[in-house]
Amino acid sequence: MLKVTGLSKAFALDEGAVRAVDSVGFEVAQAQCFALLGPSGCGKTTVLRCIAGLEQPDAGTIEIGGRLVTDTARNAFMPVHERPIGMVFQSYAIWPHLDVFENVAFPLRVQRPARPSREDIERRVMEALALVGMEAMARRPAPRLSGGQQQRVALARAIIRKPALLLLDEPLSNLDARLRETMRRELSGLIRQIGITALFVTHDQVEALSLADRVAVMNEGRVVQQGAPADVYDRPRNLFVARFLGAANVLSGRVEAREDDGKARIVLDGSGHRMLLDSDGRPGEPVDVVLRPENLALMSDPFIESTSSIPGRVASVSFQGGNVEYEIDLEGGSRLRVHARAPARAQADQAVRILIDAARGMVFKATDMSRTVDPAAFRNTDDDPSQVPPYLGTDRRR
């Protein structure tokens, strides 16, 4: 349904920085839900806006539903209002001077050439509102809507024309945590229910992994890896993707030797612990080992030896409802995060051993970036305050 090839765009921001989208290409099949995932500034929103027709790329082609909407080589550019798309903006862009009904009816009212009849509009708007659960608020003025309500209205408005492609710009990032979960499920359900092709951009990997059928991870203007969520999560192509897609403990080390079964024996810096992991690393090569917290387990008995367990001392225990997160200090200074189910089985300062599921460990060639080992440094940035929806000035409890 959507085909993007060789999309490139460079532009200077006010502060002088240059942001670029560099040769991005991907395809979204019919009725598929595709996510563009990446940190702020990676260019994902630019890609989305180019697809929508809100920006013109420097190079590349975009096809929607088989129609070429952008082709820089042929200087072809279909203006935004002719594209068969619906879009939910990050700020929702609900028009403050119209009520809910009129906001959703807008695309039908401006339709050319054949504008639907009044009864038709009424019916279709109420249908769309019912889909998103807002039919009771049809006459509410826009400024009196909460964040979640605005999002539903935006969604209803985006799908009312039954477009070929639905675009969503950070659809859940402005909602509070509880609402986010609810909306995520609803959104997912809705998209499947109407069978629409959807593309959304986000910096939240949980959003991407849970909503999308396919994910493309972007960084610094490039698509770094594409694939099904599980694939990208379990088999990240590089350290960046590994760290971005989920929590990651990164330990630096060196390949000591290769084993016969294709595994590599890796010795960790600092603690000197050795482990066997799937890797093609050659002896002497410096590597970064990524261990996901959920693939680690805690053993309270410090005396059980195992080649795939590391001794450590509990630095902190954090209760998170159904889960417990331990921070364990290893000998040599590294710190690991371990996720386990509640209740907590260890306390602070306790000596423990960490069991490692070696099959799930990932090994990467060491890069400059990965020399800093503190996993906390890569916690996702929440709620960028500059992204607050702009035009509802009254108290908005998130």
Partner 1 sequence: MPTAGNLDWTARLVLAVGAGTAIYLIAVPLAMLLLAAFRGPADVLPFEPGAQWTLEHVRAVFNDPVTYQRMLPDTLVFVIGTVALVFCIAFALAWLVERTDLPGREIWFSLILFPLLVPIPVLAIAWIFLMGPNAGWLNLAIRALFGLEGPGPINIFSMPGLIFCQALASAPFVFLLLTSTLRSMDPALEEASGVCGARPLTTFRRVTLPVLLPGLLAPAILITLITAEQFELPLIIGLPAKINVFSYRIYFELNPPGSLPNYGAAAALSLPFIVLGTLLLLVYNRMIRRAERFVTVTGKAYRQRRLELGVWRIPALLFVGSYLAIAAVLPAAVLLWTSFFGYATPLGATLGDFSLDAYRQLLANRSFWVGLRNTLLVAALSALVVTAIGALLGWIISRSRLRARHVLDFVSLLSVGIPAVIAGLGVMLLYLSLPVGLYGTVWILVLAYSYRFATTTRLARAGFLQIHRELEEASAASGARWGATQRRVLIPLMLPALAAGFILLFIVGVREFTIPLVLYSQDNVVLSVLLWQLFQYGQPASSAALASLIVAIVLPVLFISRRVFASRSVAG
Answer for which of 161, 222, 254, 335 binds partner 1 (CB under 8 A) is: 161
Query: Which positions from 319 through 358 interact with partner 1, judged by CB under 8 A?
Result: none
C-alpha–C-alpha distance, residues 99 and 5, integer Å: 39
- Partners of 382 in the β-ladder: none
Q: Does residue 171 bind partner 1 (CB under 8 A)?
A: no
Answer for which of 137, 206, 355, 388 binds partner 1 (CB under 8 A) is: 388
Query: Which positions from 104 through 123 interact with partner 1, judged by CB under 8 A?
Result: 106-107, 110-112
Q: Which of 296, 282, 289, 281 is nearest to 243 (CA)?
A: 289
C-alpha–C-alpha distance, residues 151 and 172, integer Å: 9
Q: What angle do CA 175, 181, 182 make, to 5 degrees?
A: 90
Answer for which of 10, 20, 31, 54 binds partner 1 (CB under 8 A) is: 54
Please report how close the Cβ of residue 389 comes to partner 1 at its closest, in angstroms.
9
* Two tokens, residue 397: 């409890």
Respond yes or no on whether the N-terminal peptide bond of residue 116 is cis (omega within 30° of 0): no
Answer for which of 20, 93, 194, 315 binds partner 1 (CB under 8 A) is: 93
Q: Does residue 9 bind partner 1 (CB under 8 A)?
A: no
* Two tokens, residue 264: 């590599």
156 CB-near residues (< 8 Å, 6+ apart): 104, 125, 128, 129, 131, 132, 134
- Partners of 264 in the β-ladder: 258, 277
Please report how close the Cβ of residue 219 comes to partner 1 at its closest, in angstroms.
23
Answer for which of 18, 341, 386, 397 binds partner 1 (CB under 8 A) is: 386
Q: How does DSSP assign 177-214, residue by residue?
A: HHHHHHHHHHHHHHHHHHT-EEEEEES-HHHHHHH-SE
Q: Does residue 397 bind partner 1 (CB under 8 A)?
A: no
Answer for which of 10, 31, 80, 206 binds partner 1 (CB under 8 A) is: 80
Q: Does residue 91 bind partner 1 (CB under 8 A)?
A: yes
- Per CB under 8 A, residues contacting partner 1 are 14, 52-54, 79-83, 85-87, 89-91, 93, 95-97, 106-107, 110-112, 143, 154, 157-158, 161, 167, 386, 388, 390-394
